[in-house]
Amino acid sequence: MKDKYKLLLSLKLLEYEIKELINYSKDCYECFDFLSDKLDYLCEFMNCEENLKRWNLWKDDYQIKYYCEKLRETASNALCYIEKYQSSCIDNDELNRSNYIMMLSDSVRYEFKNLGINNKSKVIFVGSGAFPVSAITIAKEIGAQVMCVDIDNEAISLAKNVTESLKLDSIIKFSSKSLRELDFVKVATHIIVASLVKNKKEVLADLKENINTNAKIILRYGNGLKSIFNYPFEKNLSKDWIQIKIDEDKNIYDTIILERSYYECG
């Protein structure tokens, strides 16, 4: 029982501290550094062996589940808030590259090196946010065309400013259209779904009808303890999809590669 309460206290404290730091940052921009550091610590926390052991023992406890979900919502809000702040700093060189951003950039490099993303690829990023690190990394380092999709119009406006400042606006485009309405879906070679996209199965349903048969979907998620900072994904999909799991135990999220099955494609 002692392990349960140690884990429970940690989840409660992290959620409280992140929420308070969001409020502090609204009054004092210098507090964004504290908030960013706290999210970096959250990444370390979810990959700590001792925490993983406690999670495996108590993951089904209703209190643990409740505060896990609460922490995820607060952390997600914090990341969105940080991204919007970072995008506003791009013109005056005040950007602070957190460990989270560097880890995310490294994860993206792994993806494009191992999943066939090259300068001829056409990539969609679903849930790109106000500071689209993944899209920027892909466009800047390999020159692929990227279409960023987000339902937050403010995030899109801020992200456009970032890509213009980095002189990447010719190959990174933005849309708030639904995936069913987006023509770029039909020609995309790779579709990346962000780990903080909540309705992943709805996204797959929208994509299924329009993607070409050779397209790869790179779906990011976080099950287990990683669900404190990523939305989980239950992989009980139909025969419509071929699934390839990528082992990334120490990454900040997990990844599964999905392709339309030959059975479905006819």
Q: Is the same domain home to 81 and 112?
A: no
Q: Is the same domain home to 132 and 243?
A: yes
Q: How large is the average pLDDT for residues 187-197?
A: 96
Each residue's pLDDT tens digit, 82-91: 999 988 887 6
Q: How large is the average pLDDT for residues 56-76?
A: 97
Q: Is the same domain home to 84 and 129?
A: no
Q: Is the same domain home to 129 and 234?
A: yes
Q: Is 262 left (phi over 0), alpha (psi -120 to 50) or beta?
A: alpha
Query: Percentage of the chain surpassing pLDDT 70?
Result: 91
Q: Is the same domain home to 37 and 61?
A: yes
For helices 32-46 and 99-114, give the axis angle rounded to 10 degrees. Answer: 50
| Confidence check: pLDDT of 77 > 90 | yes
Boundary residue ending a domain (38, 56, 89): 89
What is the C-alpha to C-alpha distance for residues 82 and 103, in angstroms, rounded to an integer? 16
| Confidence check: pLDDT of 97 > 80 | no
Has residue 96 been placed in a domain?
A: no
Has residue 205 been placed in a domain?
A: yes
**Highest mean pLDDT out of 52-61, 136-145, 201-210, 252-261:** 52-61
Distances (CA, A) of 5 to 39, 42, 51, 201: 22, 18, 12, 33
Number of domains, the chain: 2
Q: What is the CATH number of the domain that holds 119?
A: 3.40.50.150
Q: What is the mean pLDDT of the chain?
A: 89
Boundary residue ending a domain (89, 116, 136): 89
Q: What is the pLDDT of residue 1?
A: 84
Q: Is the same domain home to 68 and 172?
A: no
Closest CA to 129 of 107, 156, 108, 102: 156
What is the C-alpha to C-alpha distance for residues 67 and 9, in angstroms, rounded to an integer? 9
Q: Is the same domain home to 60 and 126?
A: no
Has residue 8 been placed in a domain?
A: yes
Has residue 78 been placed in a domain?
A: yes
Q: How large is the average pLDDT for residues 38-51?
A: 95
Has residue 190 been placed in a domain?
A: yes
Has residue 94 been placed in a domain?
A: no
Each residue's pLDDT tens digit, 220-240: 999 999 999 999 998 777 678
List for the chain the helix, strand, coil content (%; round to 5): 55, 15, 30
Q: Is the same domain home to 130 and 81?
A: no
Q: Is the same domain home to 73 and 122?
A: no
Q: What is the pLDDT of residue 186?
A: 95
| Confidence check: pLDDT of 208 > 90 | no
What letter represents residue 20's amino acid? Answer: E
Band (pLDDT 50/70/90 cuts) for residue 96 is low
Sign of the Cα torsion 233, 253, 114, 160 reads positive
Boundary residue ending a domain (54, 89, 124): 89
Band (pLDDT 50/70/90 cuts) for residue 130 is very high
Q: The domain containing residue 65 runs over which residues?
A: 2-89
Distances (CA, A) of 248 to 69, 103, 110, 152, 220: 22, 12, 10, 29, 11
198 DSSP 8-state letter: S
What is the C-alpha to C-alpha distance for residues 94 and 34, in angstroms, rounded to an integer? 15
Q: Is the same domain home to 116 and 194?
A: yes
What is the C-alpha to C-alpha distance for residues 152 and 134, in angstroms, rounded to an integer? 17
Band (pLDDT 50/70/90 cuts) for residue 116 is confident
E strands present in the chain? 122-126, 145-149, 172-175, 190-193, 216-221, 241-246, 254-260
Whole-prediction pTM: 0.91
- Which of the residue ranges 99-108, 116-125, 127-136, 165-174 would you say has the lowest mean pLDDT? 99-108
Name the residue with tokens 């987006």: 182
Q: How large is the average pLDDT for residues 51-80?
A: 97
User: Within 13 A of 210's CA, how many CA atoms are on the CB side?
Assistant: 19
Band (pLDDT 50/70/90 cuts) for residue 144 is very high
Q: How large is the average pLDDT for residues 94-102?
A: 58
Name the residue with tokens 């010719």: 170
Residues contacting 42, CB < 8 A, separation 6+: 14, 18, 75, 228, 229
Q: What is the pLDDT of residue 260?
A: 85
Has residue 134 been placed in a domain?
A: yes
Q: Is the same domain home to 138 and 254?
A: yes
Q: Is the same domain home to 133 and 84?
A: no
| Confidence check: pLDDT of 155 > 80 | yes
